[in-house]
Homo-oligomer: A and B are copies of this chain.
Amino acid sequence: MSLVVTGSIGIDDVKTPYGQVEGVLGGSVVYFALSAALLSEVRVVGAVGEDFPSNFRSVLEQRRIDLRGLETRKGSRTFRWAGRYESDLGEAQTTHVDLNVLAEAPPPIPSSYQDSKFVFLAATHPDLQRDLAQRFTAAELVVCDTRDLWLNNEKEAFIKLLNQVSAVVLNDHEASLFTDQTDLIRAGRRILEYGPRFAIVKKGQHGAMLVTSDRIVALPSFPTDKVKDPTGAGDSFAGGLMGYLAGRGRFELDDLPRAMACGTVVASFAIEDFSTKALEDVTPARLEDRLDQYVAMLKLD
């Protein structure tokens, strides 16, 4: 079943306690697509400027990633982001942003994407996400992410978006901010009141929690002490999650725990090196192997 992702493709500068890099490949679409492609084909919608390096494009080209929706816009420049992490490797602090092409008109959606059944709307202005959601008329599962920026400044627009999507994937801080609830189960249930069938709260090193109308599933992260750069962990989680669902071909709520496990394990690779370096070296076989370890760790009977 066809999976499509919309969002940012960027060039990043990142500093963590384990080093720093400049001018590296980044953006939510990139992390999502590299992750999802381990489990399914994935279609990309995004725009870059003329300055986008060809070797960055090559990283995406060598996989099951459909780049017909990747627009290289003449006269524009690629989105740039710079951020740093403190020693606890928690939320990134953004030190610099140049929206560049992201501040212009959104890229066109290829007609060949019209039959997409699984849609992931990475974080951007919720009105733009809602517009995108409406354009995938054949979609069966539309999942959105968001950022605290939009919850602070565009809460009403986000509420309208929630009414248009099947689900939301967001981090614990954002779930609490939106619902004014520190308890994440209550926060998740509050989100469901706005329309989604399920919410997944990402808790970074503490794993993720699924909230549906009648079920809560909490899963830990895959234990690793090899973290170098948490950038893209959330988008890699979403990519593994939706790649698994798309690979199955149809969606049932019962598939979500296993899908979350895939997301968790893919994210555990993503954070092992800067930018997409670790993710580029993952094969479906390595993913399967670590997934087996994760499933075995949680087998208690």
Contacts and interface: CB of A to CB of B under 8 A. Distances in A.
Nearest to A258: B300
Interface of A is mostly: loop
Contacts of A89: 182
Given A216-B223, A220-B207, A261 B182 contact: no
A220 B216 CA distance: 12
Contact of A206 (B185, B207, B224): B207
Contacts of A295: 300-301
Contacts of A298: 219, 298-300
B220 A218 contact: yes
Centre residue among A203, A219, A221 by max chain B CB count within 10 A: A219
Interface in A261-301: 261, 294-295, 297-301
B300 A224 contact: no
Copies in the complex: 2
Contacts of A217: 223, 297
A218 B209 contact: no
Nearest to A211: B223
A227 B88 CA distance: 27
Contacts of A95: none
Contacts of A300: 257-258, 261, 294-295, 298
A262 to B, nearest CB: 10
A11 B133 CA distance: 58
26 contacts: A87-B182, A88-B182, A89-B182, A183-B227, A185-B223, A185-B224, A185-B225, A186-B225, A203-B206, A206-B206, A206-B220, A207-B207, A207-B220, A209-B220, A216-B223, A216-B297, A217-B223, A218-B220, A218-B223, A218-B297, A219-B220, A257-B300, A261-B300, A295-B300, A295-B301, A298-B298
